[in-house]
Homo-oligomer: A and B are copies of this chain.
Amino acid sequence: MARRSDKLKLGTFVYTFGYNPAGWLHPGSDVNGANDFSHLHKVAALSEAAAFDFMFLADSPAAAVGDPDGLARMPTKMNRFEPLTLLSALAVMTKHLGLVATASTSYYEPYNLARIFASIDHLSGGRACWNVVTSDHDETGYNFNRRGLDPHALRYERGREFVDVVFGLWDSFEADALLLDRASGIYYDQARHHTLNHAGKHFQVRGPLNIARSPQGRPVIAQAGGSEAGIALAAETAEIVFSLASNIERSRNFYATLKSRMASFDRAPDDLKVMPGVVVNVGRTEADARAKVQFLLDKLHPDAGRVMLQEFLEADLRGVPLDAPFPMDRLPQEAKGSRALFDELVAFVKQGHTVGELIRLFAEKHTGNGITGTPAQVADFMEEWFESRAADGFILMFPTLPSALEDFVELVVPELRRRGLFREAYEGSTLRQNLGLPVPPNRYTKARLA
């Protein structure tokens, strides 16, 4: 297998206290972090000092509901900074790091969101990225005039049109439109300024956007979602795809499929980076790494574990004693998440295990998910995925923040660099440049020059 000529891309996934639900109970996280900017700034500064490509803010515009006993033990979704405000603050407190925030096409207006991301791109000097989601949690709909989620097809139809409108608004000013000419008194060239006049099924948006073309031409677009509609949208518009790192074979197939779909949109395979999310538990020794996993597992209260399991199974298990057999009538027919994990849990339940045992098993799967091991083992994992084109890089889901990020930077980054897999310093000044992504042409400039 020929070595790839590019290097792998790395991003820090951010839940406040780390990806593990018990992360806030670990001394290596900041218990005040949910409302303390200095905590998130530290995560950004560590990521930037290590020359990571970006920091990725997960989000959902809703608190979780329905299981107060469990939720009071799981702060991540209950108390967090709003991601677009946090990203804006980080934009002026960092210099090189890419800044990714999640925002939903189901619950925003395209004019507002286009402005916000263009503005963050200006604030950061070209480091903004929008993680486009349609939202897939029922609870979000209840905060936005709906009784739960809109159907999947409707969400994607609206999402597709939403992205079109945003792209159109971002082209309002051509790159060379601003003259800033005090002598003539002309600020911008009328001929380089355009009104969108979008009239679609879900949106009527006239424009123009009231902010100049952004430093990156347009902010970078990230996406997750492995559904057919998600893949179609990603092949056309995404530049970072946040996938799952559960199985290398499946990931190679996903990688090849997605990249092969790009040609029909006149895009090169390298114009999109496939970056699986991976939980990393690294230690100086294997035992060390395993002990870190065990610490978090031991910290997880069954009430919190129940919330995790309920979310995965979409089943209500409140009031069922931990030592009772799993109530089979509450088992769904279909897996919402990983099919393989679902089948494993079902088989376990059918062996007659209790609810408490299933909660424990699920927590083990969740906590130990990804790669647990020495720096060399973690680097081996990443190298194999990268070289065999299962991934262009990784979105690192640290169980605790900042401590597991600190461990990774200290232990794994030097090993990746020794192998020539990861950069020593930033190549460019924008996220687009560091990811090796092209600047999309302005539609009007393109039409004029064609």
A85 to B80 alpha-carbon distance, docked (Å) = 17
**Any B CB within 8 A of the CB of A32:** yes
**Any B CB within 8 A of the CB of A291:** no
Q: Are B186 and A72 in contact (CB under 8 A)?
A: yes
A338 to B342 alpha-carbon distance, docked (Å) = 68
CB distance from A60 to the nearest CB of B (A): 8
| Chain B residues within an 8 Å CB radius of A88 | 84-89
CB distance from A46 to the nearest CB of B (A): 17
Checking B187, B211, B304 against A72 with a beta-carbon cut-off of 8 angstroms, the contacting residue is B187
Interface size of A in residues (CB-CB distance below 8 Å): 78
**Any B CB within 8 A of the CB of A247:** no
Q: Which residue of B lies closest to A65 (CB)?
A: B195
Q: Are A109 and B144 in contact (CB under 8 A)?
A: yes
Residue-wise interface mask of A (70-108) relative to B, using a CB-CB cutoff of 8 A (1 in contact, 0 not): 001111011111101111110111000000000000011
Checking B65, B85, B109 against A123 with a beta-carbon cut-off of 8 angstroms, the contacting residue is B85
| Chain B residues within an 8 Å CB radius of A93 | 92
| Chain B residues within an 8 Å CB radius of A85 | 84-85, 87-88, 91, 116, 119-120, 123
Most chain B CB within a 10 A radius of its CB, from A25, A210, A211:
A210
A242 to B113 alpha-carbon distance, docked (Å) = 27
A82 to B210 alpha-carbon distance, docked (Å) = 9
Q: Are B34 and A185 in contact (CB under 8 A)?
A: no
Q: Are B73 and A119 in contact (CB under 8 A)?
A: no
Q: Are A180 and B31 in contact (CB under 8 A)?
A: yes
Q: Give the interface segment out of A151-159, A198-206, A263-271, A418-426.
A: A198-206
* Copies of this chain present: 2
| Chain B residues within an 8 Å CB radius of A211 | 34-35, 79-82
A118 to B224 alpha-carbon distance, docked (Å) = 28
| Chain B residues within an 8 Å CB radius of A145 | 203-205
Q: Are A82 and B185 in contact (CB under 8 A)?
A: no
A149 to B187 alpha-carbon distance, docked (Å) = 28
A190 to B69 alpha-carbon distance, docked (Å) = 8
Q: Are A61 and B115 in contact (CB under 8 A)?
A: yes
The A113-129 residues at the B interface (CB cut-off 8 A) are: 115-116, 118-120, 122-123
Q: Are B143 and A205 in contact (CB under 8 A)?
A: yes
**Any B CB within 8 A of the CB of A341:** no
Checking B91, B118, B301 against A185 with a beta-carbon cut-off of 8 angstroms, the contacting residue is B301
The A17-45 residues at the B interface (CB cut-off 8 A) are: 24-25, 31-32, 34-35, 37, 41
